[in-house]
Amino acid sequence: MSVDSFLHPRSKRYQHGDFSPEGYYRDSFDYQAARIAIESHASCAILLFEGIFLFRPELNSLWDFRIFVDISFETSLARALHRDGLRFGNVQTTREKYQRRYLPGQGIYFAEADPKSLADVIVHNDDLDNVTLSLTAP
């Protein structure tokens, strides 16, 4: 499953403006609906759920094992421009969206949820030719 399946309507996601980091972090996903869907799969042997902001308080208690994929904001931006360069019309608008909304929104997440401290494993993924893993302390 993916958290992207639980996006709020665009009107809610962007109610604070196209470049609001708070709007990105607080308004993008319907965590209540995600929680209900996850809990409905509680009898599954394994449920793999992927996406951003998954260690938020609204969901964090649901996970038995947490994997955090760690990349720098610089790498995130470079990959976004490669992947989504024209997504918002042109490369400059995409860059602005990431620099003003998405990356600062992730900064809010790091400050409030501290996902690295909650992870069981951290995947260091800046260098695709040299991905490494760190086990965190129990």
pLDDT digit string, tens, across residues 16-70: 999 999 999 999 999 999 999 999 987 878 899 999 999 999 999 999 999 999 9
pLDDT digit string, tens, across residues 96-113: 999 999 999 999 999 999
Give the pLDDT confidence score for residue 89 in this predicted structure: 84
Question: What's the chain's length in residues?
Answer: 138
Superfamily of domain 3-135: P-loop containing nucleotide triphosphate hydrolases (3.40.50.300)
Task: Look at the block and give the residue holding tokens 């610089």.
Answer: 74
* Gap between the Cα atoms of 63 and 125, Å rounded: 22
Q: Where are the domains of the chain?
A: 3-135
Q: Which of 68, 52, 35, 67 is nearest to 109 (CA)?
A: 52
